[in-house]
Amino acid sequence: MTSLVQQPRFVALQEFKQREQAMSLSQRFAEDPERFSRFCFAFGSHMRVDLSRQHWSNEVLALLCELARDMKLAPAIEALFGDNRFNHTEGRAALHTALRMPAGASAVLDGVNVVPQVHAELARLRAFCERVHAGEWRGFGGQPITDVVNIGIGGSDLGPAMVVEALAPYLDRGIRAHFVSNMDAAQLASVLATVDPARTLFVVSSKTFTTDETMTNARAARAWLLAACGDETQVKKHFVAVSTNAAAVQEFGIDTEQMFEFWSWVGGRFSLWSAIGLPIALALGFERFEQLLAGAHEMDEHLRHTPFEQNVPVLLALLSIWNINVLGLTSEGIFPYSHHLKRFPAYLQQLNMESNGKGVNSLGEKVTHNTGPVVWGEVGTNGQHAFFQLLHQGSQVVPAEFIGFARSTYDYPEHHRKLLGNMLAQAQALAFGKNRTQVEAELAAEGLNTEAIARLAPSKVMDGNRPSTTMLCDELNPHNLGALIALYEHKTFVQGVLWNINSFDQWGVELGKKLAARLITDLADDGVTTRHDSATNGLLAQIKAWK
């Protein structure tokens, strides 16, 4: 396939660049009173995505949709629901959409409908959750489980950890969920210090079951448990596994009867809908997990059946192509105005940056255009008092994505009004700013003299004209969260199709793992190490001197 930048419609888009940049957001809104209604898109009856405060026009949007057609996006989307080999470097399909299909649906891979096996595993998960919730699954002292510790990292941690935090108001099953991912023992030690071994269940989650952080933490947890119960035969009451690698699970010492399975066609960062979501189902209840799946499935259907011009994930992806590849804006700030979404930016970082941080196309050729943006963020209003200064007046323009919820779960109406007021204000300030005349008038009203006004005014002018998107939902519930996550999954996928990259592998993380193995050996040896570059040798020497 011809690369994005050689596509005639991409070339045409570049010709729009100057014209679009010359028109400020203030002008756009002044000239078009219907701009909001034309650029605010609906997903079902619970979500609105306002793309009106972006530097684009109807013509640009239409051209982007044509570009997507030229780049065969429609068949690619269809392939996401069945036979595909999107992950060609690993010879794997990407079929996470099958994880949230209803029973009776069909997703055929290599001639086999995978939906029945998905539902068979869901049924096992449900039965297990019910046993834990009913107090039938008991620890070594005969007591019910009260704490679940998920041991996993990356996709085997971020999704469940983010969802459990996001849906904290729904934690009503008497189960506390904890997450241990880091190789820094500080995390494991601090979790173990707060739980009772007799009532704790460890979920060792790893697609490969070889990831060093997870295996190291799991072995340490096992030793801690054994030290407490003193009986090897009791350990199995406290460990279950989630993996695609039954042999490694068994080798670790977890019976495969206590293993929940998922499949090679589920990428780690797309896996929270599978058995990787076990901590979610345990902490929130299985029916809430099902609502999460249903929300994601609704977004899948929207992606599959909505014309590009109204298709929310497609539009978000096309907008990012416009911002990144035409306007040169290579960073995206994610700002959820919901404290429970505090892990959402970290989750999206893995989803998008591990998927689309790629430099070669599907033929293995170097790409000649930008691919995945730098994704970062923080919850509002906290971010406002930290780094929003740069968003408003800094020399770089960062497109901002605000996520807000009309209703709050908490009975603090004043807080919620202020929270939403702040979110709306940020998008407004970014777009429309404050010009020199307004600033001078304000300073004059404060009684400043002409000289002081002239000195201060430049620092107080806000140019505005900075793009943002606002996503608004009625409330943060399992269904809406499922849809929101799937929305970002599909945005990531569509970006990958247009960039013609493999969004489903992650070879870039392998070299560091290999080098770490050598360095860990060197750290275990007190002698002088000389086999590395001089910086590494020097730092090793210093660590050894100080340890």
Would you name the residues annotated as active-site residues? 354, 385, 513
Q: Which is nearer to ligand F6P, 276 or 476 (CB)?
A: 276
Q: Give yes or no for a contact between 209 and 200, defined as CB atoms under 8 angstroms apart.
A: no
Q: Where are the beta strands (DSSP E) in 165-316?
A: 176-180, 200-205, 239-243, 259-261
Could you tell me the smallest distance in angstroms from the CB atom of residue 399 to ligand F6P? 26
Q: What is the enclosing helix (H) or strand (E) of 46?
A: none
Binding-site member from 54, 211, 480, 529 for ligand F6P (CB under 6 A): 211
**Does residue 358 touch ligand F6P according to CB under 6 A?**
no
By CB neighbour count within 10 A (0-12 exposed, 13-18 middle, 19+ buried), where does 234 fall?
A: middle
Could you tell me the smallest distance in angstroms from the CB atom of residue 458 to ligand F6P? 46
**Does residue 42 touch ligand F6P according to CB under 6 A?**
no
In sign, the C-alpha dihedral spanning 540, 543, 545, 547 is: negative
The encoded tokens of residue 453 equal: 């006004």
Question: Which segment (46-54, 154-162, 390-398, 461-469) binds ligand F6P by CB under 6 A?
Answer: 154-162
**Smallest Cα–Cα separation from 281: which of 154, 193, 150?**
150
The encoded tokens of residue 100 equal: 């949230």
Distance (Å, rounded) from C-alpha 26 to C-alpha 30? 6
Site for ligand F6P in 488-547 (CB under 6 A): 506, 509
**Does residue 156 touch ligand F6P according to CB under 6 A?**
yes
**Does residue 349 touch ligand F6P according to CB under 6 A?**
no
**Does residue 160 touch ligand F6P according to CB under 6 A?**
no
Question: Which segment (1-9, 202-210, 288-296, 373-381) binds ligand F6P by CB under 6 A?
Answer: 202-210
Q: Which is nearer to ligand F6P, 214 or 361 (CB)?
A: 214
Question: Which segment (150-158, 308-316, 327-335, 382-390) binds ligand F6P by CB under 6 A?
Answer: 150-158
Could you tell me the smallest distance in angstroms from the CB atom of residue 507 to ligand F6P? 10
**Does residue 197 touch ligand F6P according to CB under 6 A?**
no
Binding-site member from 54, 84, 214, 492 for ligand F6P (CB under 6 A): 214
Binding-site member from 56, 95, 97, 154 for ligand F6P (CB under 6 A): 154
Distance (Å, rounded) from C-alpha 295 to C-alpha 486? 8
Question: Which segment (68-76, 200-208, 373-381, 384-392) binds ligand F6P by CB under 6 A?
Answer: 200-208
Distance (Å, rounded) from C-alpha 198 to C-alpha 141? 6
Side-chain half-sphere CA neighbours of 376 within 13 A: 8
Q: Which is nearer to ligand F6P, 28 or 207 (CB)?
A: 207
**Smallest Cα–Cα separation from 82: which of 104, 106, 102, 103?**
106
Could you tell me the smallest distance in angstroms from the CB atom of residue 156 to ligand F6P? 4
Residue 475 has a CB neighbour count (10 Å cut-off) of: 14
Q: Which is nearer to ligand F6P, 347 or 405 (CB)?
A: 347
The footprint of ligand F6P on this chain (CB under 6 A) covers a number of residues equal to 14
Q: Give yes or no for a contact between 479 and 289, defined as CB atoms under 8 angstroms apart.
A: no
Binding-site member from 55, 269, 466, 491 for ligand F6P (CB under 6 A): 269
Could you tell me the smallest distance in angstroms from the CB atom of residue 501 to ligand F6P? 16
**Does residue 217 touch ligand F6P according to CB under 6 A?**
no
Q: Which is nearer to ligand F6P, 506 or 529 (CB)?
A: 506
Instruction: Label residues 383-414 b or e (16+ Cβ within 10 Å = b).
Output: bbeeebeebbeeeebbbbbbbbbeebbeeeee
Q: Which is nearer to ligand F6P, 20 or 213 (CB)?
A: 213
Question: Running DSSP on this structure, what letter comes out for residue 138?
Answer: B
**Does residue 371 touch ligand F6P according to CB under 6 A?**
no
Q: Please, what is the angle between helix 286-305 and helix 478-499, to 10°? A: 40
Q: Which is nearer to ligand F6P, 206 or 361 (CB)?
A: 206
Could you tell me the smallest distance in angstroms from the CB atom of residue 348 to ligand F6P? 14
Q: Who contacts 257 (Cβ-Cβ below 8 Å, separation ≥6)?
A: none
Binding-site member from 206, 323, 356, 361 for ligand F6P (CB under 6 A): 206
Q: Which is nearer to ligand F6P, 39 or 273 (CB)?
A: 273
Q: Which is nearer to ligand F6P, 261 or 354 (CB)?
A: 354
Question: Which segment (16-24, 151-159, 258-266, 488-496) binds ligand F6P by CB under 6 A?
Answer: 151-159
Sheet with strand 400-405: strands edge to edge: 40-43, 47-50, 468-473, 400-405, 331-336, 374-377
Q: Give yes or no for a contact between 66 and 10, defined as CB atoms under 8 angstroms apart.
A: no
**Does residue 277 touch ligand F6P according to CB under 6 A?**
no
Binding-site member from 39, 96, 155, 237 for ligand F6P (CB under 6 A): 155
Q: Give yes or no for a contact between 21 and 55, defined as CB atoms under 8 angstroms apart.
A: yes
**Does residue 208 touch ligand F6P according to CB under 6 A?**
yes
Distance (Å, rounded) from C-alpha 248 to C-alpha 251? 5
Could you tell me the smallest distance in angstroms from the CB atom of residue 347 to ligand F6P? 11
Binding-site member from 49, 64, 99, 153 for ligand F6P (CB under 6 A): 153
By CB neighbour count within 10 A (0-12 exposed, 13-18 middle, 19+ buried), where does 311 fall?
A: buried
Q: Who contacts 407 (Cβ-Cβ below 8 Å, separation ≥6)?
A: 416, 474, 475
Question: Which segment (122-130, 205-213, 281-289, 411-419) binds ligand F6P by CB under 6 A?
Answer: 205-213
Q: Which residues sit at the interface with ligand F6P, rule CB under 6 A? A: 153-156, 206-208, 211, 214, 268-269, 354, 506, 509
